[in-house]
Amino acid sequence: MSQILVISDIHANLTALEAVLADAGKVSEVWCLGDIVGYGPDPNDCVERIRSLPKLTCQIGNHDVAAMGEMPLAAFNTEAKRSLLWQKEQLTPENMAFLRSCAREVTVRGEVSLVHGSPRDPIWEYVLNTLVARLNLNYFNTPWCFVGHSHFQAVFQYRQQDDDFTIEIPKPGTRYEMTDRAIFNPGSVGQPRDRDPRAAYAIYYPKTHLWEPRRVEYDVKAVQQRILAAGLPQRHADRLSGGW
């Protein structure tokens, strides 16, 4: 069965990324929805690990753009800005070049549109509620759209018969049947914000039209130690324990 690994918001957390790749096992393709860097202690390692993945499609995220110096840091809070300045100093020219090569607009793969933020605003807009989901419905032409950016697993499900949107939170490990149009978020690999500290990702089954959100534990303390050793903000370490 064809299986596609969908990941987003790694945020320079190599330990979480490796846990996800090991848990996912053999897949047909990898679709990365952006924000490989930012917040965490392992920007180069994460970019290089993503670069090494076969059959990769990769979008660019707002932290990736900012770390390259192509977005005003005034758009970020003080702690995120501090992290991004450090990330920019750490990234090698080769890894910067890879980030620049990532797609900045909606990418279509079969029946799915891929983007970091939203189809309407690929870099920055958050899809956090049904109103924003509805406003984005006319900005992609495929049945489904996969987004990242908000750091929580969710399905924004459109019901054509009722002309209504709902927010669905499928239980990790269960397969969600993809029927009417919808916007899917796999959650964050490296910095979940849904009160579950486990790394989040999803498997997409294109032939059977199924979506399977997953979670996997990783060594959070080891990452926290590397964050503090790098002189990055304490908050970026603390939030990993509670998934906030």
Whole-number pLDDT of residue 55: 97
pLDDT in tens, the chain (244 residues): 699 999 999 999 999 999 999 999 999 999 999 999 999 999 999 999 999 999 999 999 999 999 999 988 988 999 999 999 999 999 999 999 999 999 999 999 999 999 999 999 999 999 999 999 999 999 999 999 999 999 999 999 999 999 999 999 999 999 999 999 999 999 999 999 999 999 999 999 999 999 999 999 999 999 999 999 999 999 999 999 999 9
Coil/strand/helix, residue 67: helix
Q: What is the pLDDT of residue 75?
A: 86
How do residues 97-122 score in pLDDT, each as one tens digit? 999 999 999 999 999 999 999 999 99
The answer to whether 176 touches 183, Cβ cutoff 8 Å, is no
Give the per-residue pLDDT at 1. 63
Contact 62, 99 (CB under 8 A): no
The fold of the 4-242 domain, in CATH, is Purple Acid Phosphatase; chain A, domain 2 (3.60.21)
* This prediction's pTM: 0.97
In the chain, where the domains are located:
4-242
